[in-house]
Structure 1
Amino acid sequence: MFRKLFTICTAAFLFVACSSNDDIIPDNETNNANANDASVFPEYARLEFPKLKGGANNRVLIHKSNDGFGVNYCTEWDDSKKSQRWSCYQLYKSNLATGKGVKRYVADRRKGELQYFQDELIPAMYRFAYDPYYRTGYDHGHICPSADRLYTQTANIETFYLSNMQPQSHAFNDGVWKNMETAVRQWGTRNNYGFADTLYVCKGGTIDKNDYILKRLSSGLIVPKYFWMAILRVKDGQYNAIAFWVKHEDNKDTALAKYAISINDLEKKLDIDLFCNLPDDREERIESSVNINLWGLQ
Structure 2
Amino acid sequence: MNRSQQDRVVRKRPGKVRLQCLSVLGIALAFPAWAAPTQCGAHYWAGAAPDIVNARVASQTREVCFSAFGVMHSGVTRTPLWSAEHLTRERLDAARDMSRVNNFHSEPALPLTERAELKDYVRSGYDRGHMAPSADMPDARAQQESFSLSNMVPQNPENNRYLWAGIESSVRYLAQQRGDLYVITGPLFKGAQLTQLNGRVMVPSQLYKIVYDPRRQQASAYLATNEATGDYAVVTVADLEKLAGIDFFPEMPARVKSTLWRLPAPKAHEGGRKRDPKMPSYREINTVLDFLRTLLN
TM category, shorter: 0.7 to 0.9
Moved more, 95-104 or 48-57: 48-57
Which consecutive residues of structure 1, in runs of 5 or more, have no partner in the other structure?
14-33, 65-71, 107-114, 191-195
Report matched runs for 1:78-97 at 5 Å.
78-97=74-93
1:251-270 aligned within 5 A: 251-252=229-230, 259-270=233-244
Superimposed CA distance per residue, residues 86-127 of structure 1 (whole angstroms, 9 cap, x where no aligned partner): 111110011111358521114xxxxxxxx3102122022222
Partner of residue 5, structure 1 = 6
Aligned equivalent of 1:46: 44
1:169 to 1:95, Cα distance in 2 relative to 1, 3 A: same
Q: Which amino acid aligns with 1:215?
A: T
Residue 144 (1) aligns with residue 145 (2): no
- Given candidates 143, 155, 162, the residue that maps to 1:156 is 143
Pick closer, same or farther for the CA change 1:12–1:142 going to 2, 3 Å.
closer
Q: Tell me if structure 2 keeps the 8 A contact 1:49–1:202.
A: no
Helix, strand or coil at the partner of 2:203: strand
Q: CA deviation at 1:80?
A: 2.7
- Name the aligned partner's letter for residue 186 of structure 2: G
Corresponding residue for 2:108? Answer: 120
State how far apart, in whole Å, the 2-side matches of 1:44 and 1:57 are.
23
Q: 1:289 to 1:121 in 2, by over 3 A?
A: same
Q: Given the alignment of the two structures, is residue 217 of structure 1 paired with residue 197 of structure 2, yes or no?
A: yes
- Residue type of the partner of 1:202? I
For the residues of structure 2 that align with 1:9 and 1:138, how far apart are their CA atoms?
27
- Matched with 1:250 is 228
Q: Matched residues in 2 for 1:183 and 1:8: separation?
A: 30
Tell me the amino acid that sits aligned with residue 49 of structure 2. F
Residue identity (%): 23
SS in 2 for 1:243: strand
Pairs aligned (count): 242
Q: CA RMSD in A?
A: 2.8
2:248 alignment partner in structure 1: 274
Answer whether contact 1:36 1:45 (CA < 8 A) is retained.
no
TM-score (norm 1): 0.72
Between the aligned partners of 2:12 and 2:100, the Cα distance in structure 1 is 37
Q: 1:203 aligns with which of 185, 193, 206?
A: 185
1:27 alignment counterpart: none
SS of 1:175 mapped into structure 2: helix
Could you tell me whether the CA contact under 8 Å between 1:51 and 1:276 is conserved in 2?
yes
For residues 93 and 241 of structure 1, what CA distance do their matches in structure 2 show?
Answer: 18
Instruction: Map 1:182-193 onto structure 2 (within 5 A).
Output: 182-190=169-177
**How much has 1:4 moved relative to structure 2?**
3.8
Q: Residue type of the partner of 2:6?
A: L
SS across alignment from 1:136: coil
Alpha-carbon distance between aligned partners in 2 of 1:35 and 1:185, rounded to the nearest angstrom: 31
The equivalent of 1:232 in structure 2 is 212
Letter of the aligned partner of 1:5 in structure 2?
Q
1:198, distance to aligned residue in structure 2 (A): 1.4
Q: Using the alignment, how far apart are the partners of 1:181 and 1:45 within structure 2?
A: 17
Letter aligned with residue 88 of structure 1: A
CA positional deviation for 1:132: 1.1
Q: Which residue of 1 aligns with 2:261?
A: 291
| SS of 2:169 mapped into structure 1 | helix
Secondary structure of the equivalent of 2:49? Answer: coil
- Match of 2:166, SS state, is helix
Question: 1:41–1:86: structure 2 CA closer, same or farther, 3 Å change rule?
Answer: closer
Return the letter of the residue paired with 1:105.
V
Structure 2, gaps ≥5 residues long: 15-32, 266-283, 285-297
- Over residues 226-281 of structure 1, what are the superposed CA-to-partner deviations in whole Å (9 max), with x where a residue is unaligned? 1111111123xx3110111111110245xxxx510111111111111111133xxx
CA distance in 2, matches of 1:127, 1:180: 27
TM-score by length of 2: 0.72
CA distance in 2, matches of 1:154, 1:7: 12
What residue in structure 1 maps to residue 21 of structure 2?
Answer: none
In structure 2, distance between residues paired with 1:143 and 1:262: 19
Distance 1:43 1:220, change over 3 A: same
SS at match of 1:124: coil
Aligned-residue offset at 1:296 = 4.2
Other structure's SS at 1:131 match = helix
**Residues in 2 aligned to 1:9 and 1:152: alpha-carbon distance in whole angstroms:** 21
Change in 2 beyond 3 A, CA 1:117/1:272: same
